Structure 1
Amino acid sequence: MTIFVILLIYKFVKGTFEYEKVTRFDLVIIPAYSAVMMLLSFRNIQSTTAICIAIILLLVGVSIGFLQASKVKISDTNKVDSHQRPILKVKRDWPYLIGWLITFAIGIGVEIFYGAHLNAGEVSQELFEEVLKDLSVVALLSGHSTWFVWLLNVATSFTYGACIVIRHPKIRDAIQRKNSNKNKSI
């Protein structure tokens, strides 16, 4: 199992420094899904402490999203997909990885704040699950995260996506939904 975890971490870290195709899934679907899951998991939380933590985490998550987008590099392949959208590639680099690690550490910290007693094995298991969620759509969609993990994911992924769309307007073309009738002549 340890070798599998190391291989997953290696794949995740390596992917951070390689160009990967920009997708609507990463920039639109994941933040939207995370927002829905956050709202569903947060609706039963009514304590003032939880609301204060949520506000702080939202602000911290937005800051992390800005950090993660700060050194993103975009490559235009000069190709288009079947919907005539430009195919762009993104390289996230060190700030993304550092932001991801900070987000993970904050999640562990909030769990400890709420009374979890985590040993090294449990932290390793959490790390494995988070890396797996980042690498696998199935793991992300079937994962059982708490409200604060969803909140951090919404804040970081939405801010990251918004920043790179604003800084690189061509990304908007790459992720927008194209109406097939729109491009036809009359």
Structure 2
Amino acid sequence: MNLFLEFAVLLYFMYQQFSFERVSRLNFVAIPIFSLYQLSLTLPEGEKSISLVGILLISLIGLLIGFFQASHVEVKLVEANKSYVRINGEETPIYKKIVESRAGFRYLIGWIFIFGLKYGIGFLLHEKIEGSLIRSLFAEILREIFLFLSLAPRNEATAWIDWLLIGTSGTAFSIYTLRKHELIRKIVMKKEL
């Protein structure tokens, strides 16, 4: 991919963190659960296995990052024009209530920290890291932008670190945000707005 396109995707990713987006159950429930499931499939075994203490330490770091990322999430209720109905010859809009959230700067900082931590831990554990750091960064940004890519299996040696950090930070992000914002809780629990 050329440098211009990669830079444009990076700018779009950064822009996304500061714009309001529709809240979905998938982001708050399915992704953390799926990530922890994927962790169980990619955790190294045999001589490459990692101690329980190491897993707990990385989990704790992931939880702290998740709480940090969620600490300044903004939420708002928007009435979006869904369609129109004609009453007595006049068009009247029909609105649908939508909950939107914006993660902001703290989410971006936490995301960068997770990315760096994945490679730092991989380096400390002498994992074989293939490809360049820039290509990996671009791949991670694409996974963040396009949800279907984030659910795809990861084959690299650091995949288990990725899934562990995504799962624990996502769980902490979800718990903190659900407790703090009633509108998001209503979306996740499928309650009426």
Asked if Structure 1 and Structure 2 have the same fold, meaning a TM-score greater than 0.5 normalized by the shorter chain, the answer is: yes
% identical aligned pairs: 24
How far off its partner does 1:44 sit?
3.1
How far off its partner does 1:115 sit?
2.1
CA pair 68-46 structure 1, distance change in 2 beyond 3 A: farther
Residues 35 and 166, structure 2, Cα contact 8 Å, conserved in 1: yes
Name the structure 2 match of 1:34: 35
Residues 22 and 89, structure 1, Cα contact 8 Å, conserved in 2: yes
Structure with higher helix content: 1
CA pair 80-41 structure 1, distance change in 2 beyond 3 A: farther
Given candidates 97, 106, 110, the residue that maps to 2:121 is 110
Report the number of matched residues: 175
- 1:89 equivalent in alignment to 2:100: yes
Q: What is the root-mean-square deviation of aligned Cα atoms in Å?
A: 2.6
Structure 2 CA distance for aligned equivalents of residues 40 and 117 of structure 1: 18
Structure with higher strand content: 2
Name the structure 1 match of 2:172: 159
The residue matched to 1:142 in structure 2 has which SS?
coil
Name the structure 1 match of 2:24: 23
CA pair 118-151 structure 1, distance change in 2 beyond 3 A: closer
Cα distance per residue 1:61-82 (max 9 Å; x no partner): 000001000111101114699x
Unaligned runs of 5+ in 1: 179-186
Cα distance per residue 1:35-67 (max 9 Å; x no partner): 110111127367674432211110000000010
Residues 53-92 of structure 1: matches in 2 within 5 Å?
53-78=54-79, 86-92=97-103
Structure with bigger gyration radius: 2
Residues 75 and 183, structure 2, Cα contact 8 Å, conserved in 1: no
User: TM-score when scaled to structure 2?
Assistant: 0.81
Residues 43 and 49, structure 2, Cα contact 8 Å, conserved in 1: no
Unaligned runs of 5+ in 2: 83-95
